[in-house]
Amino acid sequence: MERKIDHLEDKITISECLREWEPHQKKGFDPNETRMLDIFECWTGEKGPGIGLVGIPFDSAVLGRKGAKGGPKKIRDSIRYFKAYDWSKDFWFGDEKVIDFGDIILEADSVVEAHDLISEVINKIASRGFKTIILGGDHSISYPIIKGLKEANNPKKIGLINIDAHLDVREVIKGRITSGTPFRRILDNSLVSGENFVEIGIRNFTNARTYRRYVEDKNGLIFTIEDIREKGLASVIEKTIQRITKGTDLTYISVDMDSLDQIYAPGVSAPTPDGLTPNQIMKIIQSIAEKTNLIGMDIVELNPLYDTADTTAINAANFLVQFISSTFWKEKNQK
């Protein structure tokens, strides 16, 4: 089954809605538990507010090992391991719904054209009032995602966190837009102010001095893996929240799976040792969702071709579940 969004029909096909391809569509055998899978519903024209899920199986701009276009399907597959119950808060959210917009099948001749289509789709979903989880795909998609969100929410300002081993602020050289360029394009096009931009998890020996200086000159805030060890995660989160909420209305998180230590994430485009633990990323997502106006998150650079026992994919799904749980929890508890 294929569905279409508004008048983008000729360019974009939305398909692969989770509940359609999920081989275990029927309810679980145990009526005492609610599986995460059971709270997803295929989009049939609903308006928000709510949480939306969309996949972007696009890896034409990847700098590392190709294969990230297989990310959305593998993350969806891995949702099966989770329940709609947050033990830490004794919070059951099995009566909530997440609207699945499916995967965007792009028919584009160039990266630029593909990015324009991604922006349009994200704009449409956000304009309908959905907070959005985007499954990549290579990291280049964060630029058109932020562009679409900015257009949908103008003139509101967005604070942005990139959880990543790499800065991803490369120069676009000879017109080549890559998975290493998204945040430079976001900052240079003033979609986000450098003051409201934070990078967490940056590694030693994996970045260029020129790009460090670029972020520093833009007044961006960088926390390396060593900074987290020295300062502690709670302090890093506190300083991050100060930055991304300073003069802004909305916040957004980009999660590059290579921010995780290689041991938790063998299946990425650019494997990198000495990284974050899954728990540290969960804590960041939880805090930002609870304490700021978080409108979206992307999970990018999962490359299933190199994954071992779906380790990376299941970690990615765990991040998705944390976003959903914390977002619903905040809605229930903020008033």
Q: Taking the alpha carbons of 214, 219, 224, 227 in that order, is the dihedral positive or negative?
A: positive
Q: Which is nearer to Mn ion, 11 or 139 (CB)?
A: 139
Report, in Å, the least distance between residue 81 CB and Mn ion: 25
Distance CA 180, CA 172 (A): 9
User: Does residue 284 sit in helix, strand or coil?
Assistant: helix
Q: Per-residue x/- mask for Mn ion, residues 6 to 35, rule CB under 5 A?
A: ------------------------------
| Token pair of 143 as six digits | 């630029």
Length of the chain: 335
Using CB under 5 A, which of 77, 138, 256, 261 touches Mn ion? 256
Q: Which is nearer to Mn ion, 18 or 244 (CB)?
A: 244
Q: Which is nearer to Mn ion, 168 or 298 (CB)?
A: 168
Q: Which is nearer to Mn ion, 257 or 294 (CB)?
A: 257
Report, in Å, the least distance between residue 85 CB and Mn ion: 32
Nearest to 166 by CA among 118, 135, 205: 205
Whether the Cβ atoms of residue 135 and residue 298 lie closer than 8 Å to each other? yes
Whether the Cβ atoms of residue 292 and residue 251 lie closer than 8 Å to each other? yes
Q: Per-residue x/- mask for Mn ion, residues 148 to 187, rule CB under 5 A?
A: ----------------x---x-------------------
- The count of C-alpha atoms lying within 13 angstroms of the C-alpha of 188, restricted to the half-sphere facing its C-beta, is 12
Report, in Å, the least distance between residue 192 CB and Mn ion: 16
| Token pair of 199 as six digits | 């990078």
Determine the size of the site formed for Mn ion (CB under 5 A): 4
Where does this chain touch Mn ion (CB under 5 A) — which range of 9-17, 131-139, 260-268, 325-333? 131-139
Report, in Å, the least distance between residue 259 CB and Mn ion: 8
**H/E element, 2:** none
Residues 6+ apart with CB under 8 A from 121: 5, 8, 12, 54, 101, 104, 148
Q: Which is nearer to Mn ion, 100 or 256 (CB)?
A: 256
Report, in Å, the least distance between residue 221 CB and Mn ion: 17
Where does this chain touch Mn ion (CB under 5 A) — which range of 60-68, 249-257, 308-316, 324-332? 249-257
Please report whether residue 139 would count as binding Mn ion according to CB under 5 A. yes
Whether the Cβ atoms of residue 282 and residue 190 lie closer than 8 Å to each other? no
Report, in Å, the least distance between residue 254 CB and Mn ion: 8
- Please give, one letter per residue, the 3-state secondary structure of 128-183: CCEEEEEEECCHHHHHHHHHHHHHHHCCCCEEEEEECCCCCCCCCECCECCCCCHH
Q: Which is nearer to Mn ion, 77 or 164 (CB)?
A: 164
Q: Which is nearer to Mn ion, 131 or 166 (CB)?
A: 166
Report, in Å, the least distance between residue 206 CB and Mn ion: 10
DSSP state for residue 16 in the 8-state scheme: -
Distance CA 253, CA 256 (A): 10
Q: Which is nearer to Mn ion, 78 or 269 (CB)?
A: 269
Report, in Å, the least distance between residue 291 CB and Mn ion: 24
Distance CA 184, CA 200 (A): 16
Q: Which is nearer to Mn ion, 162 or 293 (CB)?
A: 162
Report, in Å, the least distance between residue 82 CB and Mn ion: 25
Distance CA 237, CA 18 (A): 32
Where does this chain touch Mn ion (CB under 5 A) — which range of 28-36, 139-147, 211-219, 304-312? 139-147
Residues in contact with Mn ion by the rule CB under 5 A: 139, 164, 168, 256
